[in-house]
Amino acid sequence: MKKIILLINAIVITLLIILELPAQVNTFERTYPGDVGLQVIESGDGGYYVGGSNNGYLQVMKINSIGFIEWIKDFSPDVLYSEFTSVARGNPISLDNDGGILTIGTVLEGDDYNIRVIKLDTQGNEVWEYTFGEPDRDEVGFAVNIIGENEFLVISRIQGSEITEVVKANEEGIILDQRVFNIECKLFSEIPGIGYIISDTHKMINLSRNLDSLWTYTRSGFSGFNSITPARDNKILALSGSKLIIINSDGLLESEHSLSFEGSGNYAIETSDSSYVVVTYYKIIAFDSGFNQMWEKEIIGYGYYLTETQDDRFIICGAILDWIGDQWLVLKTDTQGNHHSINLRSPRDASTIIAFNQEVITWSSSGVNKVNIDYSLNGGTSWKGLANNYLISTEDSRDTLSWFIPELVSDNCIIRIEDSDNPEVYDLSDPPLQLIVYDPFEPISTNEIMMWVWNDGTGSHNPRTDGNGFYWPGGDSATQSAIFNDGLNWGGKVNGQIRVNGSTHRTGLLPGSILPDGTPDEYPSLNSKIFKIRKDWQQLPEGFKKDRLEYDYLHWPVEIGAPFEDINRDGVYTPGFDKVKFIGDETLWYVCNDLDTATSRFTYGSDPIGLEIQTTVFGFE
């Protein structure tokens, strides 16, 4: 339950950064928000589509030729996609004939999980969507594949069984054919000259273009199939651990070859020059046509998918799992697995960083000795330098620079790192960062009173002296204090149990709102800071104080309860029409909650009751 005390006293994100930066060499390493990138395909215009999951939901993005984001389509919280384990890897995207893509996921409708197929145009806009599934049966969307001018295949698994369903449909959503097969699909591939392959860990079934089952290849006593891809002369290349297996068009084993690397490969392809390339955890390895190793290169993350590009290079997608957090990885190399690149790792793209704070800038690089580091507060229109000819570590592929951020605010902050010797090699915050002043406490000074306010319910306590924090008279110039600490306290019964909490010399609250699902907002978040506005902020001289007040005015958190003037009386805040509510000449607002059990017990020993408190503090001149 969520209680509120008011003290009055799907996303598409279109991201295109247009900067006057030099063209970059055609290899790159980039990381992006998300759990794991599962598939990357060329878009036909020099860029790439990447599909995968983000917090268990389907996510698709379009990047340009050097890896910068053009748009991201995040399907949370509606379309799930978690078809990735150590033995299963789905195909969430397929290139359409008009340059757009089809993508697939799973949706909950009533009590059933069904399959959702969505068409996106080249700008990431939804063209159509269709849902496939049977009543009283849970199905998981596994792969989608364009097969003709207006037709596609939908491959799904029926939960609780070892059954795979393959549906042929057209772009009007009409089912043209529907087949079921006794196999729990873990891999799907289209093989020219053969048809389609659906596979579990030890068995693959060949389907004709008409979805007839032609043959079954079964193999036991090995680690299972990791990938299935086309080979020359209408054959199949299967990767199993560190073995490459060649199967002919009749489903017969032609040859198998043990490769000279440790561990298990994740994906293997035959290249245009009849060599073989395998991607593993942290490595990309090439073998000649006789299966002798030619070269081996390290990569910074897990490589899960690999393809050869039209310019005869290689592009890999996967994930990085480290202290910075899970991120998608996309890496493009040259023909020898090399890449000349810089990859900005932290602050993470689109994250919020806090001014007047120490921020560690972290990056990885390849083929780079020195870097220049700059930042912009206006999306790249102008830049300020942080480091020049900064010598990076020769012992580690990851390096850092500590930046003490001054009191700055920006919705469009970009950090850029470039190779000092070759500025065509660079990375930048894509999408931009949000740079805020996070205020856990803030004074209000008006009407001869100066009073400290904290965002955890504490009042009238000076954070600088840990002493009295309510001054009167004199305002900012006051020397006489009247109050050491104050706050709201409450008590009551919950199912017969007495619970008491609040703010005295201790506080039982944490900053932030209670989300619709009953959980607290992540702390610290932008909306958990103290927001401060003044009626005369536009008349103030240029400088940080004015910038800070303008920022809070423009970001006034009406969506979580901050007061506003409902000019059109429709009950909702309409930007550009409704107005921020100035209750006084100076107004402060914050929200806090009692959901954290340890914090709640810290005051009087009571458990939380699920209370959210929205506090407005104001004064008149």
Give mean pLDDT, residues 539-559.
88
Kindly compute the dihedral angle of the four CA atoms of residues 431, 434, 435, 438, in this order, to the nearest 10 degrees: -150
Kindly compute the dihedral angle of the four CA atoms of residues 255, 261, 266, 268, in this order, to the nearest 10 degrees: -50
Query: For residue range 251-306, what is the model confidence (pLDDT) as tens digits?
Result: 999 999 999 888 889 999 999 999 999 999 999 999 999 999 999 999 999 999 99
Q: How far is CA 440 from CA 257, 292, 358, 391, 476, in A?
A: 62, 61, 16, 37, 19
Residue 383 vs residue 5, higher pLDDT: 383
Residues 259 and 278: their CA atoms lie apart, in Å, by 10
Q: What is the DSSP letter of 397?
A: S
Residues 170 and 119: their CA atoms lie apart, in Å, by 12
> In the structure, what pLDDT confidence band is assigned to residue 12 with cuts at 50, 70 and 90?
very low
HSE-CB at 251 with a 13 A cutoff on CA atoms is 18
Kindly compute the dihedral angle of the four CA atoms of residues 446, 451, 452, 454, in this order, to the nearest 10 degrees: -90
Percent of the chain exceeding pLDDT 70 equals 94
Give mean pLDDT, residues 241-257.
96
User: 169-196: buried (b, 16+ CB within 10 Å) or exposed (e) per residue?
Assistant: bebeeeeeeeeebebbbbbbbbbeebbb
* Least trusted range by pLDDT, from 84-88, 127-131, 299-303, 394-398: 84-88
**H or E segment to which residue 551 belongs:** helix 544-554
Q: State yes or no: pLDDT of 236 exceeds 60.
A: yes
Residues 396 and 297: their CA atoms lie apart, in Å, by 15
Predicted local confidence at residue 118, as pLDDT:
98
Predicted local confidence at residue 39, as pLDDT:
96
Query: For residue range 121-142, what is the model confidence (pLDDT) as tens digits?
Result: 999 999 999 999 988 899 999 9
Complete domains list, the chain, with CATH: 26-339 (2.120.10.30), 346-436 (2.60.40.10), 441-619 (no CATH)
Cα 337 to the chain's mean position, in Å? 27
pTM for this predicted structure: 0.79
Q: Over the chain, what is the mean pLDDT?
A: 89
Query: For residue range 588-609, what is the model confidence (pLDDT) as tens digits?
Result: 999 999 999 999 999 999 999 9
Predicted local confidence at residue 438, as pLDDT:
83
Predicted local confidence at residue 79, as pLDDT:
94
> In the structure, what pLDDT confidence band is assigned to residue 17 with cuts at 50, 70 and 90?
very low
Q: Are 164 and 127 in contact (CB under 8 A)?
A: no
Residue 615 vs residue 8, higher pLDDT: 615
Q: State yes or no: pLDDT of 362 exceeds 70.
A: yes
Closest CA to 510 of 611, 373, 374, 391: 611
Q: State yes or no: pLDDT of 548 exceeds 80.
A: yes
* Least trusted range by pLDDT, from 8-17, 46-55, 490-499: 8-17
> In the structure, what pLDDT confidence band is assigned to residue 357 with cuts at 50, 70 and 90?
confident
Predicted local confidence at residue 448, as pLDDT:
86
Predicted local confidence at residue 324, as pLDDT:
64
Residues 38 and 54: their CA atoms lie apart, in Å, by 11
Predicted local confidence at residue 65, as pLDDT:
95
Closest CA to 511 of 424, 398, 593: 593
- Collapsed DSSP state (helix, strand, coil) of residue 560: helix
Predicted local confidence at residue 23, as pLDDT:
45
Q: Tell me the chain's radius of gyration from C-alpha atoms.
A: 29
Give mean pLDDT, residues 44-63.
95
Query: For residue range 453-510, what is the model confidence (pLDDT) as tens digits?
Result: 999 999 998 888 888 889 888 877 888 888 898 999 999 999 989 999 999 888 999 9
Burial zone of 257 (CB within 10 Å; 0-12 exposed, 13-18 middle, 19+ buried) = middle
